[in-house]
Amino acid sequence: MSTTVHKAPGRGWSVARVRNRLVWWVMAVIIGIGALLWVYPFVWMVSASLKDQLEVFGSGLSLLPKTPVWENYARAWTDAGFGQYLLNTVIVTVCTVVLVVVRCAMAGYVIARYRFTGRKTVMVVLIATLFVPTGYTIIPVVEISQRLGLLNSLSGMVIALSGAAHVASILLYMGYFRGVPKELEEAAVIDGAGFLSVFFRVMLPLAMPVTATVTLLTFLATWNAFFLPLVFTFSRPDLRTLSVGMLAFVGENSVDWSGMAAAAVISLLPVVILFVLLQRYFVEGMAGAVKS
């Protein structure tokens, strides 16, 4: 070890350096095997979606299809209705995200920057519901939707999805708006801006970073939602979202593995692409829970 001391740092192939490097590469191989395990089901899924229906069963562990069979996608898209399911999911997700962003930004803004009667009550109720499990309230949600005539419709699904929880988003906006210097508002008011234009022209554009986080997390939660879309579409198969459609598909065609895999690829591709493009924001959005 002592021989390595007088060597210039960063140069050379001293024993310690090589050993150090080697240790980390061994670690990398171990972690790499784990990482492969994490990605494998998706690779298998893509591979199965390109095999013909017999090859899925016969080819054992081979991941490469002999010839890619694109008809699986056509079958999933048209026959199994995943084109329709994708459209439903896109409609529901886009509407829910817009509704959640607008309503949470508006609520967060007034709670953070104005004093008014009832402010405290609103705050207390919001915070209190953070500690009540919302996943166990599905029965009243269905009951109220039915009474309002919103069951079995996409708009009803959107309203229910954007009404549930999202306290975190309101709190995020509140925290952000509280930190904005009030001179900005005052300047806008002097320039003749009313309440609405102060919010939509000055405050909301300022809150872009929060809007990005809320959009991304709401998008993910809504795209992946299952329980609500499931109970909202029991009697309307044409309104199913991707996740519900998938369950129905395997319920009816349990032997069509390649069709199932193609449908799964169609359903997961949009979120995976978005994740790869915006990875940093996903990770930061989620890590927020610990950085307190």
Q: Of the candidates 209, 234, 236, 277, which one interacts with another protein according to CB under 8 A?
A: 234
Closer residue to another protein (CB): 20 or 78:
20
Closer residue to another protein (CB): 70 or 227:
227
Contact between 210 and another protein by CB under 8 A: the answer reads no
Q: Of the candidates 9, 34, 149, 192, which one interacts with another protein according to CB under 8 A?
A: 34
First to last CA, the chain: 43
Closer residue to another protein (CB): 69 or 261:
261
Q: What angle do CA 169, 174, 179 make, to 5 degrees?
A: 135
136-195 residues in contact with another protein (CB under 8 A) are 136-144, 146, 148, 159-160, 162-172, 174-175, 178, 182, 195
Structure tokens at 21: 């490097």
Contact between 97 and another protein by CB under 8 A: the answer reads no
Q: Please choose, out of 8-16, 68-76, 134-142, 203-211, the segment that lies near another protein by the rule CB under 8 A.
A: 134-142
Closer residue to another protein (CB): 79 or 186:
186
CA 237 to chain CA centroid, Å, is 24
Contact between 50 and another protein by CB under 8 A: the answer reads no
Closer residue to another protein (CB): 83 or 163:
163
Contact between 126 and another protein by CB under 8 A: the answer reads yes
